[in-house]
Chain A
Amino acid sequence: MTFLFQTDEKSQIKKNESFTKKFSKWKLVRRFVQTGIIFLLVSPVFGFTFFSGTLISSEIFGFFLTDPLAAADYFLAAKTFSVLVFGSALTVLVFYFFVGGRVFCSWVCPVFLLTELSEKLNKKFAVFKIKPSPNQKYFVLGAVLVLSFATSKPIFEIVSPIGFVSQNLAIGIDTKSKVFGDKISLESGEIYGNLKKNLIAKDVERVRFLFNGSLWFVLTIFLIDVFVVKNWWCKFTCPVGAFYSILGKKSPAKIKINHEACNNCGKCFKVCFVNEVLIAPVQGKSDFVLDGSCTNCLNCVDVCPESALGAGIKKDFWK
């Protein structure tokens, strides 16, 4: 009897859960944007000309865009000033200020997709459970800027997994083989030197993958994320994330909470990437998620059964 009762109860709960589980609309939109960004980075391979470049610096419809941290690193390392770099970084800066700083992380950055995958794998395969301070990323940001100035090299750009992934997406796929075989045959140099190679290149019409060794570094980060520290890179280390966290603190785009509707079920904590930012608003201390570390991924909005959370605009954002 007890056995039967238990199963009954369990199925009941399951039914209820499936009933209350909301359709995650925002997650779908976010996945759409993330894959869109990847297609944008790969698009020059397929002959589209409106976009070129990587997430460090790119050109879209003739507009230059530069990652503000890369620009800062460049100014400190090269010790020069460039109007083009400053202007293009400012464009990006203003855009992310109004949509919420770390929107870059959850909606644009391809490394975040890997982090989300590692988060799922971490639940099963986590071996060590180390939890660093979430403020660590600000120290990394400071160190990057100081080191860039001291060594005269853009330190973060040399080791940036964001750069590595977007570089490999942008130039890692090569469909030019045939076209360039024809082009080269016009050049006298090739006819003498690599006649054989050239003939082969002409016949070949296929896609080549030229991914480089930088992906080892990305794999390292992924493995650390899975086995050692959950979300090690994106949550605790990435200086770009730290930069946008500072920017997002005063941003008008914030997650809004309706205190009357909230029933303290705690579901939002489970899906949130940086869940310590939700403590203050859920306890009723503020109407918005004020911490800059919030990535505006809207997972909490999707999961909230009472619709207490929602995307909102903070009108007095400068305060």
Chain B
Amino acid sequence: MERRDFLKKGLATGLVTCTSSFSLFALLGQDNKTYFRPPGALPENEFLSACIRCAKCVQACPYDTLKLGSVTDGKNAGTPFINFREKPCYLCEDLPCVKVCPTDALDIKSLVNIDLVHIGTAVITDREACLSLNGIRCEICYRVCPMIDRAITLEKHEQEITQKHTVFEPVIHKDYCTGCGICENACPLDESAITVLPSQRGDKAKHYQYLREQVKHKKGHKK
């Protein structure tokens, strides 16, 4: 009888400590994963304090783009995020996810025009793997881009190996790229060569951008 009691106690303690430590570690575990938020989200820190984790935006998303963070995402538990490789954001014009937000963590006032959304910026992260840069006429990211010829353009230059052919290099323009991730989703490689990255600049980089902004200002925002 004593042994049985001991076993029972041990099993119960084991079960409880296992699950509780799992959830505790998951909760405290901080990883450097970047979470891409729905359109109109406040800056990350403000977003995390304003989001009350009601999951209404995830429920409202017609494409199942938005995923909900769980306990394993630590402080991001219950917040919406996008995994572009699984499903990109199609930037619905009526903004169902932003409209339902009760706390303005997704701020509708900041969204004058859906084309000005800035979830992140697409960057060609793997130049060695990119088919277009290898001289193959893939250009899928360019074709699928909803802002074709504005957010992504093709720059032609000579292919170095054969010196006969042309490389059509997709070049991303930050001013137009919304970070919707359609290009990342469409990349035919196993690991996408084009990736959406968060587009915050450091203070220094902002300083270097000053001249560019000035020139743009003089020329006017050309279409």
Binding site for B on A (CB under 8 A): 44, 52-54, 56-59, 64, 66, 70-71, 73-74, 77-80, 82, 84-85, 88, 125, 127-128, 152-154, 157-160, 163-164, 166-167, 170-171, 174, 176, 180, 183-184, 187-190, 192-194, 212-214, 216-217, 219-220, 223-224, 227-228
Q: Do B59 and A171 have beta carbons less than 8 Å apart? A: yes
User: How many Å lie between the Cα of A53 and that of B26 in the bound state?
Assistant: 25
Chain B neighbourhood of A227, CB < 8 A: 12-13, 15-16
Q: Do A74 and B52 have beta carbons less than 8 Å apart? A: yes
Given A52-B56, A183-B63, is A223 in contact with B140 using a C-beta cutoff of 8 Å?
A: no
Chain B neighbourhood of A220, CB < 8 A: 16, 19-20, 22-23
Interface of A (DSSP majority class)? helix
A254 CB, nearest partner CB in chain B, Å: 31
A39 CB, nearest partner CB in chain B, Å: 15
Given A157-B52, A174-B64, A213-B26, is A192 in contact with B186 using a C-beta cutoff of 8 Å?
A: yes
A and B contact pairs by CB, cutoff 8 A, 5 listed: A53-B100, A82-B103, A157-B52, A158-B77, A223-B12
A156 CB, nearest partner CB in chain B, Å: 10
Q: Do B49 and A77 have beta carbons less than 8 Å apart? A: yes
Determine whether B187 belongs to the interface, using a CB cutoff of 8 Å to chain A.
yes
Instruction: Give how many A-B residue pairs fall within 8 Å (CB-CB).
Output: 170
Interface residue tally for chain B (C-beta within 8 Å): 52
Chain B neighbourhood of A73, CB < 8 A: 52
Interface of B (DSSP majority class)? helix
User: How many Å lie between the Cα of A228 and that of B8 in the bound state?
Assistant: 12
B97 CB, nearest partner CB in chain A, Å: 12
Chain B neighbourhood of A164, CB < 8 A: 70-71, 77-78
Determine whether B45 belongs to the interface, using a CB cutoff of 8 Å to chain A.
yes
Q: Do B186 and A180 have beta carbons less than 8 Å apart? A: no
Q: Do B185 and A152 have beta carbons less than 8 Å apart? A: no
Q: Do A192 and B144 have beta carbons less than 8 Å apart? A: yes
Q: Do B50 and A80 have beta carbons less than 8 Å apart? A: yes
User: How many Å lie between the Cα of A71 and that of B183 in the bound state?
Assistant: 38
B14 CB, nearest partner CB in chain A, Å: 10
* Nearest residue, chain B, Cβ from A219: B19
User: How many Å lie between the Cα of A298 and that of B100 in the bound state?
Assistant: 36
